[in-house]
Amino acid sequence: MNQLQGLIFDVDGTLANTERDGHRVAFNSAFEEARLDWHWSVDFYGELLKVAGGKERVEYFLHQYKSNFINSKDVTQFAAEIHQLKTKYYLKLLRSGAITMRPGVKRLIEEARKANISMAIATTSSLPNVIALLEKYLDLDWFEVIAAGDIVAAKKPSPDIYQYVLNKMELPANNFLVLEDSDNGLIAAKAAGLKTIVTVNNYTRKQDFSQADLVISDLGEPDKPCDVIQGNLTENYLNIGSLSKIISQE
């Protein structure tokens, strides 16, 4: 029977609500500083989120919506420069406390530590963003591997980032559980052979999570039950006991 030995956490939308009031706002501040009359609304950003990776998202936006946009630099170089500006604003927002952790995240991580369960991060977000979030709300030392952004060539939904973590941690995939929030993340984790629990948010609620091993509103707290959207959860919130039951199911 599979034993729970490791948890791999996605970051954006899973550990914290970073997209709507974090990355999106930072992108708009970067456009303003670059004197571009572009503004990504909440809904429009939800469309763009289907492209993982901030740089890749800007490139997609330019090709799809600004094809007549002429700039002395090539699109990749230009997107990288805008992304650098955006990261500066995102880090400022993060450090100001504008971004909140999601329910149950800190509790579950502390439970996992007490149960000697190894933990890792697998995110498309850039490393400085992840470090800043973990330093502000958690502790970098709690994670054996922090796999982020360009550490792999292909971003989610490609499985590369999860395969990178598995290679580093030298544990079999069937002893791990993944926590994700998006279809891109679920596809990536499943392609790496990993059981995956999805916690949804306003950007991802309507996505296809039929392959997930459990879909819930959030991780929940003892006094704030989560809603079960797909699969079985005997407790009102996700804890190490529920995770162990999920990992042992064939």
Residues within the interface to Mg ion (CB under 5 A): 10, 12-13, 181-182
The partner in contact with residue 23, picked from Mg ion, ligand XBP, none with C-beta cut-offs of 5 to 8 angstroms by kind, is: ligand XBP
Q: Would you call 227 helix, strand, or coil by DSSP?
A: coil
The partner in contact with residue 54, picked from Mg ion, ligand XBP, none with C-beta cut-offs of 5 to 8 angstroms by kind, is: ligand XBP
- Between CA 61 and CA 222 the distance in angstroms is 42
Q: Provide, rounded to whole angstroms, the least separation between the CB of residue 83 and ligand XBP.
A: 6
By beta carbon distance, the residue nearest ligand XBP is 54
Give residue 126's identity as a one-letter amino acid code: S
Q: Measured in Å, how far apart are the chain's first and last C-alpha atoms?
A: 8
- Between CA 126 and CA 83 the distance in angstroms is 10
Decide if residue 52 touches ligand XBP (CB under 6 A).
yes
191 to 23, 149, 159, 250: CA distances (angstroms)? 27, 18, 6, 17
Q: Provide, rounded to whole angstroms, the least separation between the CB of residue 248 and Mg ion.
A: 26
Catalytic annotation present for 181? no
Decide if residue 157 touches ligand XBP (CB under 6 A).
no
Contact with ligand XBP (CB under 6 A) among 6, 13, 104, 157: 13
Count CB-CB contacts under 10 A for residue 204. 22
Contact 183, 209 (CB under 8 A): yes
Annotated catalytic residue: which of 10, 160, 181, 213?
10
Decide if residue 159 touches ligand XBP (CB under 6 A).
no
**In the chain, where does DSSP find H-type helix?**
24-33, 42-48, 54-65, 75-96, 105-114, 127-137, 160-169, 183-191, 240-248
- Interface mask toward ligand XBP for 190-229; x: CB under 6 A: ----------------------------------------
Catalytic annotation present for 213? no
Size of the site for ligand XBP (CB under 6 A): 18
Decide if residue 12 touches ligand XBP (CB under 6 A).
yes
Q: Any idea which residues carry the catalytic annotation?
A: 10, 12
